[in-house]
Amino acid sequence: MSDTTTALRPSAATSAPAVIAATRVSKTFGEGRVIALDEASFEVHPGEFITMVGPSGCGKSTLLRIVAGLIDRTSGTIAVHGNEVTGPRNDVAMMFQKPTLLPWRTAVENVLLPTELAGTVTDADRRKALDLLALAGLKDFAFSFASQLSGGMQQRVALARLLQTGADILLLDEPFGALDEFTRERLNVELMRIVAEVMATTLFVTHNIGEAIFLADRVFVMTPRPGRLARIVDVPFDRPRAPDLQLTPEFNALVAEVRAILGGHE
């Protein structure tokens, strides 16, 4: 593990106002027949990295979409920066498991897509896109097409595109789930570095307990459907973090704790 122990993120006990505040948020589908999310309440503070872990169908992705304003909650309240969420917001951006790059566009052109959709692209926008690709480790691939990039590189382009929006709240729905373990581990380290540099508040969905703990300041542990927030687990490890943190007894004890919480709700 790195000898550097300077914490780059706030503790869960921070007194800063909540960036995201949810109170008893529920979501049902099919005229109320399917309860996807049941009375979730939580706060997320500026700069926190929150991961959500739980079985398939427990409402993790549903909760992200509610925060993003892509779907409406059935009941409860949710606010971003103190304002009720009533639809998509410019300060919230979402990334999915597949990079969904446009194959006829280069990497930098894909990164510029949110800017184009919002209006005219300036020279400053182009410089920002190139800078973000460099931040993501793709300086030499800015003018490559998707077919010329590996799966991990395509996800880096998608991450740069996410950052191009200028949103200070990033929602990531299993963005590395389809990648091999080695690539996934490398991208987790890169993601932490990039998010720390841009000082974004992040919600990250995963099925992988180790990944959830390695990335997070706090882990939201979800129950099977109907999805409830079973426990919020604080992660005490300082940043920056290196992959060999996952070999320590302290890390594996936390993995066992989260696994036990999940097992108690199977």
pLDDT tens-place string over residues 112-160: 999 998 888 999 999 999 999 999 999 999 999 999 999 999 999 999 9
Residue 194's identity, in one-letter code, is I
Judgement on whether residues 56 and 3 belong to the same structural domain of the protein: yes
Judgement on whether residues 173 and 76 belong to the same structural domain of the protein: yes
- The predicted model gives 196-209 an average pLDDT of 94
Judgement on whether residues 57 and 123 belong to the same structural domain of the protein: no
Judgement on whether residues 185 and 263 belong to the same structural domain of the protein: yes
User: How many domains are there within the chain?
Assistant: 2
* Largest interatomic CA distance in the chain: 54
Q: What is the pLDDT of residue 15?
A: 62
- The predicted model gives 91-97 an average pLDDT of 92
pLDDT above 50 for 102 = yes
Question: Could you tell me the pLDDT band of residue 7, with boundaries at 50, 70 and 90?
Answer: very low
pLDDT tens-place string over residues 56-69: 888 899 999 999 99
Judgement on whether residues 85 and 209 belong to the same structural domain of the protein: yes
Judgement on whether residues 75 and 143 belong to the same structural domain of the protein: no
Judgement on whether residues 209 and 144 belong to the same structural domain of the protein: no
- The predicted model gives 174-183 an average pLDDT of 87
Judgement on whether residues 51 and 106 belong to the same structural domain of the protein: no
pLDDT above 60 for 13 = no
pLDDT tens-place string over residues 221-250: 999 888 899 999 999 999 999 999 999 999
State the pTM of this model.
0.89
pLDDT above 60 for 105 = yes
Q: What is the pLDDT of residue 162?
A: 94
Q: How many CB atoms lie within 10 A of CB 111?
A: 30
Judgement on whether residues 131 and 214 belong to the same structural domain of the protein: no
pLDDT above 60 for 209 = yes
- Token pair 């200028």 in the structure block, residue: 166
Range of the domain at 142: 99-166
Instruction: Determine how β-strand 49-53 pairs with β-strand 169-173.
Output: unpaired
Judgement on whether residues 118 and 50 belong to the same structural domain of the protein: no
Q: What is the pLDDT of residue 32?
A: 73
Residues in the chain: 266
Whether the CB-CB separation of 95 and 162 falls below 8 Å is answered with: yes
pLDDT above 60 for 6 = no
Judgement on whether residues 2 and 40 belong to the same structural domain of the protein: yes
Whether the CB-CB separation of 66 and 76 falls below 8 Å is answered with: no
Give the chain's mean pLDDT.
90
Q: What is the pLDDT of residue 178?
A: 80
CA distances from 100 to 105, 146, 151, 195 (A): 12, 10, 11, 21
CB half-sphere exposure, 259, CA atoms < 13 A = 10
DSSP line for the chain? --S-----S--TT--SPPSEEEEEEEEEETTTTEEEEEEEEEEE-TT-EEEEE--TTSSHHHHHHHHHTSS--SEEEEEETTEE--S--TTEEEE-SS----TTSBHHHHHTHHHHHHSPPPHHHHHHHHHHHHHTT-GGGTT-BGGGS-HHHHHHHHHHHHHHT--SEEEEESTTTTS-HHHHHHHHHHHHHHHHHHT-EEEEEES-HHHHHHH-SEEEEEPSSSB-EEEEEE----SS--GGGGGSHHHHHHHHHHHHHHHTT-
- The predicted model gives 27-34 an average pLDDT of 85
Q: What is the pLDDT of residue 75?
A: 95
Judgement on whether residues 184 and 265 belong to the same structural domain of the protein: yes
Q: Strand 20-29's sheet: what is its strand order?
A: 34-44, 20-29, 75-80, 83-84
Whether the CB-CB separation of 84 and 78 falls below 8 Å is answered with: yes
